[in-house]
Amino acid sequence: MKTILFINGPNLNMLGVREPEIYGTTTLPEIERIVAEEAQVYKMKIVAFQSNHEGAIIDFIQESYRGADGIVINPGAFTHYSYAIRDCITGTDLKTVEVHISDINNREEWRKKSVLSDICAGVISGQGVEGYVRALDYFKDD
């Protein structure tokens, strides 16, 4: 059974409350449940983690990557400037998929730049909660 690290960055713990017109009303625990159920269909398990702190995300990846087969990450605002998370992911050699609930390319100018996307196997943006589920497709046939 494959293990996928399912990482969500800053403010994603506020899903369901934070700007529902942009991010919807589904909470992060609900998303984790949906993704975990879909992962079981693919004979995968997810290990979910959320933090508002860059170092905590790095620590989680470094502590967990040896037992993992891939990463699905919504880095939140870290998308745009965290070279530290980028270096950490690169150091694991794990296939990684970047996910964004909203379409970051059709929002504020500063959101359009990702320092992670070029090291990822794929980027899913603007698909809402479904984007997280679609990210699992990248790991089905490995």
Please report the pLDDT score of residue 97 as a whole number.
98
The three-point CA angle 126-59-73 to 5° equals 10
Instruction: List the structure tokens of 85.
Output: 């998370």
Please indicate whether residue 100 is annotated as part of the active site. Answer: yes
Secondary structure (DSSP) of the chain:
-EEEEEEE-TTGGGTTTS-HHHH-S--HHHHHHHHHHHHHHTTEEEEEEE-S-HHHHHHHHHHHGGG-SEEEEE-GGGGGT-HHHHHHHHHHT--EEEEESS-GGGS-GGGG--SSGGGSSEEEES-TTHHHHHHGGGGTT-
Instruction: List the structure tokens of 118.
Output: 């070029």
Please report the pLDDT score of residue 142 as a whole number.
63
Please report the pLDDT score of residue 29 as a whole number.
98
In the numeric block, the tokens 């270096």 are attached to 87
Q: Tell me the domain boundaries of the chain.
A: 28-34+48-60+76-142
CATH level 3 topology of 28-34+48-60+76-142: Rossmann fold (3.40.50)
Please report the pLDDT score of residue 108 as a whole number.
66
Please report the pLDDT score of residue 40 as a whole number.
96
Low-confidence ranges of the chain (pLDDT < 70): 106-108, 110-112, 142
Closest Cα to residue 8, out of 39, 44, 49?
49
Query: Torsions phi, psi of 73, nearest 5?
Result: -135, 130
Per annotation, catalytic residue among 65, 100, 132, 138:
100
Please indicate whether residue 132 is annotated as part of the active site. Answer: no
Per annotation, catalytic residue among 23, 65, 132, 138:
23
Please report the pLDDT score of residue 121 as a whole number.
97
